[in-house]
Amino acid sequence: MASRAVEKQPAPELVRDRLREAIHSGKLQPGEQLRQEELAERFGISRIPVREALRQLEAEGLVTRQPNRGAVVSALSIQEVIEMLDIRIGLECRALMLAVPNMIDSDFEAATKILKSYDKEPRPQKWGEMNWRFHETIYAPCNRPKLLEMIEANYGHVSRFTRTQVSIASGKEKPQKEHFEILEACKGGDASAAAALLEAHITQTQKALMAASRQRRSGR
């Protein structure tokens, strides 16, 4: 049944989802051209659904149309990323405030399992993925689908630009300590404390990103 559902997915949505995943994962880099004819050939479809998929990605801010180049993967300035991290604070702290009263043991167990796997993962390029899995897990009990969609979309934009830079600049030990502190506040049922810790955690990401940017400019 699952394979049939996948087969019935409209072509524009299939192309959109695959390209979105490639952009979020870093396989498609900012400024990279997305040629309709090449994409149509790759997916074995006509250019019409490809054009629609690119239009949808443009509406999401992941694709930009440039004169003489067509569709390219969007780039963001450091200041735009900093502002999107401010948006993270607003959305995610609200979600966590709503989620904490609804959390049960299985939520804590799932979050703890992710953090233990995170501890054992030596590859910085994997840390961003595990970071998202942890955050996603602790927000899910808020039971606000639209809010969770907004959080995931914003996180996807930001993570393209912070994944490697922040992981290298801040390492793993400090963010992980903060993750466990947030989780302990959740276990204690203290939503306000958990949200305050989360805000400080995301603010630290902003600082790490600015530090990484300074280091790149200075050539270090």
How far is 157 from 167, CA to CA, in rounded Å? 16
Q: Which residue has the tokens 């990103």?
A: 209
DSSP E strands in the chain: the ranges are 63-66, 70-73
Q: Please list the residue range(s) of the chain that carry CATH number 1.20.120.530.
A: 78-218
Query: Does the structure show a pLDDT above 90 at 98?
Result: yes
Strand-pairing partners, residue 72, are: 33, 64
Report the CATH fold assignment for 2-73.
Arc Repressor Mutant, subunit A (1.10.10)
What is the reported pTM? 0.77
pLDDT single digits (tens) 169-184: 566 788 899 999 999 9
pLDDT single digits (tens) 148-160: 999 998 888 887 7
Q: Please list the residue range(s) of the chain that carry CATH number 1.10.10.10.
A: 2-73
The CATH class of the 78-218 domain is: mainly alpha
